Structure 1
Amino acid sequence: MFMDIELHNDEKRILQIFQKFEKSTLNFDEISQEIEKEKIMRASLWLTGHSLAEVLEESKKLVKLSSEGLEANEKQLPERRLSKYILDNNIESIGIKDLSKVESLEKGEINPLLGNLKKKNLITIDKGNIVFKNLDYEDEEENLISKLANLDEGLDISELSKEDKKIVDSLKKRGLIEVKEIKNRELKLTSEGIEYIKNPIEIKEEITQLTKEDILSGKWKECDIRAYDATIPTEKVYPAKPHPMAKIIDDVKDILVSIGFKEVKTSAVQTEFWNFDSLFEPQDHPARDMQDTFFLKYPNKGEVNEELLQKLKSIHESGIVGDEQISKGWGYVFSEDVSKKVVLRTHTTVSSIKYLASLSEEEKEKPHKIFCIDRVFRNEAIDYKHLPEFYQCEGIVMDDNVNFDNLVGLLSEFLNKLGFEKVRIRPAYFPFTEPSLEAEVYVEGKGWMELLGAGIFRPEVLEPFGIKKPVLAWGIGLSRLVMMILELKDIRELHKNDLDWIRNSRVKSVK
């Protein structure tokens, strides 16, 4: 009954392993003791195609502590450390502004701390003071962290209650645990396979590619010549491909180039002159303090064109460029030292303003359409939707008589090409554009979501650089866009280098 079955030598070796162990089912780990691991799945699938065996696959998701979770288990959660601080110092409450003085709390933990305390209903806030309802509270997150810390292999998520699964989701958002899928594979002989291994299995040298030498020497008579069967399933092959993030960035670049834009680049390190002052952002603006901006310790000052510096000083203080009164300005004393401080850029708009500043008088008479896609840096607490480093895409259009309607049309076309059919525009405020807008897109199942901001550069931004034409400007958070396209719930998943996720993710072209 098996005369017509032609088996590959690897298939025969696996069947011999069944004969050796006298079993009808073997785990892949057992088989790997006798044959190379990379050959097992392929040969098993061939045996399946011959109806001699079947592959049994069982997968389970294991919950384990991340490196941050292991650290939290040793140091305790920030909530507990704060309650212990209050208890140890015999005080009834602590002011929100005084949290930075608590030595056991790290700077990055302070911002999300209040949210976690409120979510757990542990505190009340009275006139800016945090008051614990019970300093000796029981914390379900702590209990689960402690339980996971004692398990080397993790905990099967299917064994958790509905309430525990909610705690798992909460801890995952905090980056304290990770969920990994583990697959267990077995090969089970069918009744035909059991019958097959009752007979001796002979392994001969096998020829997979017949050569001239094999024919002339007569070697082909002594060997098995492997027949090809295109219907037999094979093991998955993962060819090289770009990371999903890189793929979407490339698609966005192609869209912009296709509608006439050219790409520009600038350094990640900028002076406050270019990052803030050139965009008419006042030097006492909250976004420029240590909570939002990364300042360089060395070098802590950069070079600035003195002529441009004086122009910006004048526009900031009194709204005057040369002899022309553009606006009232901000009415404060502009600091040249602040302007020379060095920061990591907080937006890619700095690329556009430096491009405009670089134009010659002849080039200023021509239309321009440029964009920049690059990393930006914000001093933010890390959570499921915030990272201190992320990608942003920004662009400008400079031409005679371009107006707000042109901007709306451009953005609608751009978002349509990204795959968003429903787009709506609403008024917004940005310090360097007027009028300004925010564009929202409709995502099935999630409703309307904000995706980009835009506007027309204010005269205070353009006049110091001699730009007389109107300039339309827009910016989009690419990391948020990628999250929406890939349907991710946590932005950190984009940077974990999970090989299985990268291999199996399918990114539909956004072009």
Structure 2
Amino acid sequence: MELHIDEKKLLKIFQDSGKEEFNVKELAENELMGSETKVMRTALWLSGKGLVEIIENKKEYIKLTERGEKALNEGFPERKIANYLKEKGINSIPIKDLNKILDKSEISPALGNLKKKKIARIDKGNIVIDDLDYVDEEEELLKKIKTNNNLKEYNNVDNKKAIDNLKKRGFIEIEEDIDRIIKLTEKGKEFIKNPIEIKEEISQLTREHIISGKWKEYHIRPYDVNIPTEDIYPAKLHPMTRVIHEVKDILIGMGFKEVKNPIVETEFWNFDVLFEPQDHPARDMQDTFFLRYPNKGDVPSELLKKVKEMHEKGIFNGEKISKGWNYKFDENISKRTVLRTHTTVSSIKYLASLSDEEKNGAHKVFCIDRVFRNEAIDYKHLPEFYQCEGIIMDEDVNFDNLMGILIEFLKRLGFDKVRVRPSYFPFTEPSLEAEVYLEGKGWLELLGAGMFRPEVLKPIGIEKPVLAWGIGLSRLAMLRLGLNDIRELHRNELNWLKKVKYRANI
């Protein structure tokens, strides 16, 4: 049997020691081998020849994250609330005062977990904790994990639920360690009964070898294209960038063109033109980032008048087309600057920029860009994320066309099972949500769409119907990559980025 010199060296270790099996780490420490990569590559060759077998023992263990260490040392956010109440000698606190105790990012998770664990109740806007010395199973579990991180030890149903929640909260990560044993087969035992001669090998015959005659002393190594090699991780695009490129390619292939706009907009373009009332809850500080400087921007005066009249009375050019919102429209609010909360602003600005001649034609445009919302950070929310928005304007386009285009778009993204259902969005009527079916997860909402309301289109001079839709690309990326926590997309953990596989189809 023809053996590579490394194969001979590995078998020589067995022969000299008299042992039938070795741990890979032990073999790597032997001077004949020198590295685990070399040991595993050689063992795979020998395994293919039936001389050894590779036994893998996988062990999953739990690693506390930086956030988990902090929770262990300082207490869970919900525990901080209980400790504060205990210190003050009270058992309740208004929800609005939680920012005195917790960071903004901790408030939402704390409230959710207080209710889920039935530690507290909410009474007229107050958090009430009757037992301030409550026992939290997740806290106790985190303490145990600190001293014993073997996942197998926590394999019962109750622990699994707690571990899932600790993982979602970013307190722990599950990592895998594989212990590999190389063991001689019966064929291997027979083979090493004969002396193993290790003769120097060369992989390339040179002029010097031929002239000196040394080629007679060497064994020329045969070239094998199937030889396992050390993993190499070349430069590649970030998974989020790949999602964006994929969606762009699909939309351009469907006849759309891309438009862009600044991330800073006035409330006029971000909200008012879209017929969103100035007292709508989504416009307050809890959902929107307002700029301190510059805190005002320019708005087109003529269009502002038309939008104002539409909001107050539902009138355009003297014609009553809507009930309006029946309130006093404030032009100063329109001029305030915000970080855009959606990419729809790009679509509506594009439509408003069209000349009279251009309005006679058909238009298909999309925008992919970052949007900003004042969200508490958790496993499915970030204050900054990517969104894709598209519109189609043409004579006689209708709701059926919209459904057909969206189903085709989602199928090109790799989703075979798609369904739509009625929904509500402030600036479209009728509206729908598109859902996709994933094995093991069921139906997931992925995309919202509808037809722009006349109150949106009339003031900007558009008479044709306009189909509009939007999709959150972060959620799409999570589905593509099999992630349960949106934060993993942006942690830039180098080891994960090296090994992660981007699936072209789900």
Correspondence for 2:133 among 132, 136, 150: 136
Distance 1:279 1:80 in 2: 43
Distance 1:178 1:112 in 2: 18
Question: Following superposition of structure 1 onto structure 2, how do residues 170-185 of structure 1 map, counting pairs within 5 Å?
Answer: 170-185=165-180
RMSD: 2.9
CA deviations 1:406-429 (Å, max 9, x no partner) are 212222222333333443332222
Pair 1:148 & 2:145 matched: yes
Correspondence for 2:154 among 157, 160, 176: 160
TM-score by length of 2: 0.88
* Structure 2 counterpart of 1:442: 437
> The residue matched to 1:343 in structure 2 has which SS?
strand
CA deviations 1:76-113 (Å, max 9, x no partner) are 1122111222222222422334433xx22222222232
Pair 1:279 & 2:278 matched: no
* Structure 2 counterpart of 1:403: 398
Does the CA contact (< 8 Å) of 2:37 and 2:230 recur in 1? Answer: no
* Structure 1 counterpart of 2:43: 44
Distance 2:87 2:329 in 1: 46
Distance 1:136 1:449 in 2: 40
Say if 1:446 and 1:57 are closer, same or farther in 2 by CA, change over 3 A: closer
Does the CA contact (< 8 Å) of 2:343 and 2:368 recur in 1? Answer: yes
Say if 1:122 and 1:43 are closer, same or farther in 2 by CA, change over 3 A: same
Question: Following superposition of structure 1 onto structure 2, how do residues 119-268 of structure 1 map, counting pairs within 5 Å?
Answer: 119-149=116-146, 151=147, 155-162=149-156, 163-193=158-188, 202-211=197-206, 214-215=209-210, 218-229=213-224, 241-268=236-263
> The residue matched to 1:467 in structure 2 has which SS?
coil
Does the CA contact (< 8 Å) of 1:45 and 1:234 recur in 2? Answer: no
Say if 1:331 and 1:215 are closer, same or farther in 2 by CA, change over 3 A: farther
Cα distance, 1:289 vs structure 2:
1.5
Tell me, which stretches of 5 or more residues in structure 2 are unaligned? none
Question: Following superposition of structure 1 onto structure 2, how do residues 316-355 of structure 1 map, counting pairs within 5 Å?
Answer: 316-321=311-316, 324-355=319-350
Does the CA contact (< 8 Å) of 2:233 and 2:498 recur in 1? Answer: no
Say if 1:333 and 1:299 are closer, same or farther in 2 by CA, change over 3 A: same
Say if 1:24 and 1:444 are closer, same or farther in 2 by CA, change over 3 A: closer
Distance 2:209 2:299 in 1: 76
CA deviations 1:12-42 (Å, max 9, x no partner) are 4444555676644333333444414543322
> The residue matched to 2:374 in structure 1 has which SS?
coil
* Structure 1 counterpart of 2:354: 359
Does the CA contact (< 8 Å) of 2:259 and 2:365 recur in 1? Answer: yes
CA deviations 1:288-309 (Å, max 9, x no partner) are 1121122333443334444444
Letter in 1 for 2:474: S
> The residue matched to 1:137 in structure 2 has which SS?
coil
CA deviations 1:228-259 (Å, max 9, x no partner) are 34566556665655444444433332222222
Pair 1:107 & 2:91 matched: no
Distance 2:15 2:299 in 1: 80
Say if 1:121 and 1:278 are closer, same or farther in 2 by CA, change over 3 A: same
Does the CA contact (< 8 Å) of 2:421 and 2:433 recur in 1? Answer: yes
> The residue matched to 1:330 in structure 2 has which SS?
coil
Cα distance, 1:474 vs structure 2:
0.6
Distance 1:245 1:218 in 2: 58
Does the CA contact (< 8 Å) of 1:172 and 1:178 recur in 2? Answer: yes
Distance 2:2 2:420 in 1: 66
Cα distance, 1:506 vs structure 2:
5.4
> The residue matched to 2:489 in structure 1 has which SS?
helix
Distance 1:422 1:46 in 2: 44
Letter in 1 for 2:4: L
Cα distance, 1:505 vs structure 2:
3.2
Pair 1:482 & 2:477 matched: yes
Letter in 1 for 2:449: A
Pair 1:25 & 2:24 matched: no
Say if 1:18 and 1:407 are closer, same or farther in 2 by CA, change over 3 A: same
* Structure 1 counterpart of 2:447: 452
Question: Following superposition of structure 1 onto structure 2, how do residues 50-89 of structure 1 map, counting pairs within 5 Å?
Answer: 50-89=49-88
Does the CA contact (< 8 Å) of 1:49 and 1:233 recur in 2? Answer: no
Say if 1:93 and 1:188 are closer, same or farther in 2 by CA, change over 3 A: same
CA deviations 1:116-151 (Å, max 9, x no partner) are 1121112233333332231111111111222334x3
Letter in 2 for 1:96: I
* Structure 1 counterpart of 2:501: 505
Distance 1:211 1:353 in 2: 70
TM-score by length of 1: 0.88
Does the CA contact (< 8 Å) of 1:272 and 1:342 recur in 2? Answer: yes
Distance 2:61 2:77 in 1: 25
Does the CA contact (< 8 Å) of 2:15 and 2:192 recur in 1? Answer: yes
Percent identical pairs in the alignment equals: 62
Of residues 232-241 and 138-147 in structure 1, the stretch that sits farther from structure 2 once superposed is 232-241
Distance 1:51 1:204 in 2: 22
Say if 1:27 and 1:267 are closer, same or farther in 2 by CA, change over 3 A: farther
Cα distance, 1:173 vs structure 2:
1.3
Does the CA contact (< 8 Å) of 1:244 and 1:507 recur in 2? Answer: no
Tell me, which stretches of 5 or more residues in structure 1 are unaligned? none
Say if 1:500 and 1:23 are closer, same or farther in 2 by CA, change over 3 A: farther
Distance 1:185 1:82 in 2: 47
Does the CA contact (< 8 Å) of 1:46 and 1:234 recur in 2? Answer: no
> The residue matched to 1:94 in structure 2 has which SS?
strand
